[in-house]
C-alpha cells in the first residue's frame, strides 16, 4: 500500500510514545498515521502510547475507528493506548454515535496519562509545589 507520509510526528518520550493530532486530519493522513504509530510501537517496543486530541473540535466516525484500530493493534504489540484531552462536544457527539471507544483508556492531560504508566512528569515552573 502506498500512502503519503503522515504529517504527524510520533514522539518517543523515554519509552512512551506521544502523538498529538492537531487540526483537521484528512482520511489518508489518518491511515498514514495508523501505519506510522504501529511501526513506531513495534520498533521501540514501547509499553505505552498517548494520543492527544485536545485541539480537535470534531472527531468523525472514521477517525474514531482509526483510533480504535490503532489502540487494538498497539495492544497486540503490548502497548496500552491512552486517549487524552477530548473536548466535551466531541465526547457528546461520539457517545451519541454510540462510539464509546471501550478498548481505550482515557485521561484528562498528558501528565495524567503518563502517570498511569508510572512515569511522573515533574511539574516545574511557577505552579510547582
Partner 1 sequence: MTDGATDPAAAGSEAVADLLRRRGEQIAQRWADLPFFQTVFTVTRDEAVEAGHAVVDSLSAVAESGRVDDLEAVGFQPIREQLVAMTASRASSGLSTAQVDREVGALREAALELLEADTSRLGAEEVGEARVQLLTLFATLRVLVVDTMLQENQEIVLRQRQQLLEMATPVIKLWDRLVAVPLIGMLDSARSQVVMENLLEAIVEHKATIAILDITGVSTVDSLVAHHLMKTVASARLMGAECVISGIRPAIAQTIVQLGLDLGPVTTRASLADALEWALERRERKELPTRGNP
Residue numbers of the site for partner 1 (CB under 8 A)?
47-48, 80, 83-88, 90-92, 94-96, 100-101, 106-109, 112-113, 115-120
Query: DSSP 3-state assignment of 85?
Result: coil
Q: Cβ of residue 103: shortest distance to partner 1, in angstroms?
A: 12
* Chain CA centroid to CA 109, Å: 12
Closer to partner 1 by Cβ: residue 32 or 41: 41
Cβ proximity of 15 and 47 under 8 Å: yes
Closer to partner 1 by Cβ: residue 11 or 92: 92
Q: What value, to the nearest 5°, has the Cα angle with vertex 23 and ends 20 and 25?
A: 85
Closer to partner 1 by Cβ: residue 7 or 100: 100
Closer to partner 1 by Cβ: residue 3 or 92: 92
Q: Cβ of residue 64: shortest distance to partner 1, in angstroms?
A: 10
CA distance 110 to 116: 10
Q: Cβ of residue 70: shortest distance to partner 1, in angstroms?
A: 16
β-pair type (80-84, 48-52)? parallel
Cβ proximity of 67 and 105 under 8 Å: no
Q: Cβ of residue 72: shortest distance to partner 1, in angstroms?
A: 17
Amino acid at each position: 500500500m502506498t500512502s503519503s507520509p503522515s504529517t504527524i510526528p510520533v514522539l518517543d518520550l523515554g519509552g512512551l510514545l506521544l502523538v498529538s493530532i492537531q487540526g483537521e486530519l484528512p482520511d489518508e493522513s489518518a491511515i498514514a498515521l495508523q501505519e506510522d504509530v504501529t511501526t513506531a510501537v513495534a520498533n521501540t517496543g514501547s509499553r505505552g502510547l498517548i494520543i492527544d486530541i485536545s485541539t480537535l473540535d470534531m472527531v468523525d466516525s472514521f477517525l474514531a475507528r482509526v483510533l480504535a484500530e490503532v489502540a487494538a493493534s498497539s495492544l497486540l504489540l503490548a502497548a496500552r493506548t491512552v486517549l487524552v484531552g477530548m473536548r466535551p462536544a466531541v465526547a457528546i457527539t461520539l457517545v451519541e454515535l454510540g462510539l464509546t471507544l471501550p478498548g481505550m483508556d482515557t485521561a484528562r492531560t498528558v501528565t495524567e496519562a503518563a502517570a498511569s504508566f508510572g512515569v511522573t512528569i515533574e511539574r516545574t515552573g511557577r505552579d510547582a509545589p
